[in-house]
Amino acid sequence: MPRQSRLDAPGLLHHVMVRGIERKPIFSDDQDRDALVDRLASVLPETHTACYAWVFMDNHAHFLFRSPLAGISHVMRRLMTWYAGYFNRRHFRCGSLFQNRFKSVLCQENAYFKELVRYIHLNPLRAGAVSDLKGLASHRYCGHGVLLGKRPAIWQDADFVLAGFGGSLRASRRRYLDFVQAGLSMGRREDLTGGGLVRSLGGWEAVKTAFPSKETRQKSDQRILGDGDFVQSVLAQAQENLSSKYLLAAQGVDRAKALEKASAIFGVDARWILDRSRKHPLADARSLYCYWSVRKLGFSLADLARELSMSVSGIARAVERGRRIALENGYSIEGD
């Protein structure tokens, strides 16, 4: 089965899952778990990534993240590549720690947010790691206790989650706990992990052909969890980006052309755009070049970061700035 490209966009909700290779443990003891907690406490604020729910199990982990500008893949690389290196060094092992790449299901927020928080936090109870809700509240490696105020985790956005339950802090915690208790009998929710959705075999056009109505398309792709309108909007955006990329390539528009056009618009030497000068025309031209390269031509943030000797997060900010410049001034990479 061909590997599907990852769906991502700033501000969208992702249920992220990582699993040990051959289902082997990814934690040997609490020192390993504390090491990943410390890494989360460092990486999430640095990348401006919101975390609403999380849990560490023996051989896998779940997270509920909101994708930052740099993208969810950037965040997971910083977390999991670092952790795999740490784990291998500490335990004198080599080779892959995780089973393939991480799994990410892009989720419709208004329909699934609370369900996902509950599902993720109930993992230890379903697996028998704790015996009841009291034990779950004191479980160190699950975000449930953070929401109940049992311990701090400044990198987990508890306020956002509890605000969805309304009322005072005390009332919202009580309502959240009642909501979790109501889910005890639900068991494993395949629909919340992507496992119950039909995987697409032929790309976006095959999805649309096989599932012509937006109502059935909500089960057309393992990477998306939402109703027909939500899935349709995600597919439409992805199709637009893919079509733009290949259409421009057919017209001979590449990064060299993007660089040439950005330099012409702002009247600067193309070579200067590749320098790290912060002079206003150069910064604007560089941002426009980054926006066209990433959003129109399909190059990765990492590609641009290497070319411009910038950080990936810096490129992400430049892409967003370039998007605003293009929209406000009507600049287009297409045509002369």
The string of DSSP letters for 49-100 reads -EEEEEEE-SSEEEEEEE--TT-HHHHHIIIIIHHHHHHHHHTT--S--BSS
pLDDT tens digits for range 114-167: 999 999 999 999 999 999 999 999 999 999 999 999 999 999 999 999 999 988
Domain coordinates of the chain in residue numbers?
A: 13-191, 199-250, 255-329
DSSP alpha helix (H) spans, the chain: 30-47, 72-76, 82-90, 109-121, 123-126, 133-137, 144-147, 158-163, 169-182, 203-210, 214-217, 228-250, 255-266, 270-273, 280-291, 301-308, 312-329
* Per-residue model confidence as pLDDT tens digits over 69-126: 788 888 999 999 999 999 999 999 999 999 877 888 877 777 789 999 999 999 999 9
Question: What pLDDT score was predicted for residue 87?
Answer: 97
Q: What is the pLDDT of residue 223?
A: 63
Sheet holding 224-225, edge to edge: 50-56, 60-66, 13-19, 103-107, 224-225
- What CATH superfamily classification does 13-191 receive? Transposase IS200-like (3.30.70.1290)
Model confidence at 305, in pLDDT bands (50, 70, 90)?
Answer: confident
What local confidence, expressed as pLDDT, does residue 233 receive? 65
What is the per-residue pLDDT for 335? Answer: 61
Cα separation, 156 vs 53, in Å, equals 7
The per-residue pLDDT for 3 is 46
- What pLDDT sits at residue 138? 96
Q: Which of 11-15, 107-111, 198-202 has the lowest mean pLDDT?
A: 198-202
Mean pLDDT comparison of 21-35, 69-83, 278-292, highest-scoring range: 21-35
279 vs 333: which has the higher pLDDT: 333
Domains 13-191 and 255-329 share a fold: no
Mean pLDDT of the chain: 82
pTM reported for the whole predicted model = 0.65
| pLDDT reported for residue 277 | 67
Q: Rounded mean pLDDT of 314-322?
A: 89
- Residue 211 pLDDT greater than 50, yes or no: no
**What is Dmax (Cα atoms) for the chain?**
68
CA neighbor of 72 nearest in space, from 149, 137, 18, 144 = 18
* Rg of the chain on CA atoms, in Å: 22
Q: What's residue 7's pLDDT?
A: 58
How long a stretch of residues is the chain?
336
Condensed to tens digits (0 to 9), the pLDDT of residues 243-276 reads: 566 567 667 788 889 999 999 999 988 888 887 6
Q: 10 Å Cβ neighbour count for 17? A: 18
pLDDT at 285 over 80: yes
Residue 35 has pLDDT above 60, yes or no: yes
Share of the chain above pLDDT 70, in %: 77
- The residues, ordered by sequence, that sit 6+ positions from 103 with a Cβ below 8 Å of its Cβ are 16, 17, 18, 19, 193, 194
- Rounded Cα distance, 67 and 71, in Å: 6
* CATH number of the structural domain 255-329: 1.10.1750.10
pLDDT (mean) for 211-229: 51
